[in-house]
Amino acid sequence: MELKSILKALLKEEGISISQLAKRTKVPVQTLHNWLSGVEPRSLKQVRKVSDYFEVSLDYLCFGVRRENQSDDIESYTEEFNAGVFEVVLRRVKK
């Protein structure tokens, strides 16, 4: 898990301390210290709060995986889903 190194880098990049991050995300200071010392997180909700604060994905925060163009994936799935001919049938349903 890359959480330790990525969190350190994000804190440095943002120019904030652990206590400031704790106040802004409502994640306990001790929890953040644990993550920075290599302890794996127990609460996904807390990790989500931190990833939301830094505006990064959970994949990036925890594993260092960046996905630049997720919209491209959506477009390709949409094209695949909409390919072909469809028939829509409407029928009255008896109650």
| pLDDT computed for residue 73 by the predictor | 61
Decide: residue 34, CB within 10 A, 0-12 exposed, 13-18 middle, 19+ buried. middle
* Alpha-helix residue ranges (DSSP H) falling in 1-95: 3-14, 18-25, 29-36, 44-54, 58-63, 70-82
Provide the domain count of the chain.
1
Judge whether 18 lies within some domain.
Answer: yes
Report the chain's terminal Cα–Cα distance, integer Å.
55
Range of the structural domain that residue 49 is part of: 3-65
Write out the chain's pLDDT in tens, 95 residues.
Answer: 799 999 999 999 999 999 999 999 999 999 999 999 999 999 999 999 999 999 998 889 998 887 765 555 666 666 666 667 777 888 888 87
The one-letter code for the residue type at 87 is: E
Judge whether 45 lies within some domain.
Answer: yes
pTM over 0.85: no
Pair of tokens at residue 8: 């350190």
